Amino acid sequence: NLQNLERKNAGSLLTRSLAEIVKKDDFVLDSEYLVTLLVVVPKLNHNDWIKQYETLAEMVVPRSSNVLSEDQDSYLCNVTLFRKAVDDFRHKARENKFIVRDFQYNEEEMKADKEEMNRLSTDKKKQFGPLVRWLKVNFSEAFIAWIHVKALRVFVESVLRYGLPVNFQAMLLQPNKKTMKKLREVLYELYKHLDSSAAAIIDAPMDIPGLNLSQQEYYPYV
């Protein structure tokens, strides 16, 4: 999917896709004997790479390495050598903290990946607007329903607690988080005469008001 393709094209040179970085001219292609490798070289070790890469294994083509790209920590370099020396070169490179990336230059695959990413990106843009509109409408309806449920709960609990005829006043308070404890204390002092059995837990944690129906949320007011 698009997220996976975008993730492949992000990150460091050690992990990201190299297809968007390299060019055909960076490789020796269609050779029976020669192959071009891509190596991630730490910037701190770049001078060591210049001095050593030709001697890390036999049959490395002299002066065949160039810096193709860089990120914050590393350079991406190419190097050309004989195919039969690849395994030995990989091993010696790893010992010197040079990481050989597994990569084969294939124009058809790279073109197909790019076309797929463009197609998915276009589809995302087409779907984004309708999705946002759908979310706005449905979130609004869900939120209204949630408020209705909370209002219904207040009404029912008030009738059950204080009886009939209905004689109570519903109010909406919106304190900030720092004053929640103080507000609980003030309300408790104001209405404790309504229910002497109410054991208000002033220090009880408040997550989502109205969803925690445990005994710890019992107050002399609803």
Query: Is pLDDT at 209 greater than 80 in this prediction?
Result: no
For the stretch 60-77, pLDDT in tens is 999 999 999 999 999 999
Report the C-alpha gap between 205 and 212 in whole angstroms: 10
**Which pTM does this prediction carry?**
0.56
Beta-bridge mates of residue 38: 78, 101
Neighbouring CB atoms inside 10 A of 126's CB total: 10
Give the pLDDT confidence score for residue 206 in this predicted structure. 52
What is the Cα 141 distance to its own chain's centre?
29
Question: In degrees rounded to 5, what are phi and psi of residue 166?
Answer: -60, 125
Give the pLDDT confidence score for residue 138 in this predicted structure. 94
The region of weakest confidence among 113-127, 128-142, 192-206 is: 192-206
Confidence of residue 197 (pLDDT cuts 50, 70, 90): low
Neighbouring CB atoms inside 10 A of 86's CB total: 15
Query: What percent of the chain has a predicted confidence (pLDDT) above 70?
Result: 86
Question: In degrees rounded to 5, what are phi and psi of residue 102?
Answer: -80, 110
For the stretch 81-123, pLDDT in tens is 999 999 999 999 999 999 999 999 988 888 887 888 788 888 8
Phi-psi region of 215 (alpha: psi -120 to 50; beta: other; left: phi over 0): alpha
For the stretch 2-40, pLDDT in tens is 666 667 777 889 988 888 889 999 999 989 999 999 999
DSSP 105: -
Task: Return the structure tokens found at 135.
Answer: 């979310």
Which domains, and CATH codes, for the chain?
A: 2-105 (3.30.70.100), 141-217 (no CATH)
Report the C-alpha gap between 18 and 27 in whole angstroms: 13
The runs of H, that is alpha helices, within 163-209 are: 180-191
Amino acid at 19: A
Query: Is pLDDT at 212 greater than 80 in this prediction?
Result: no
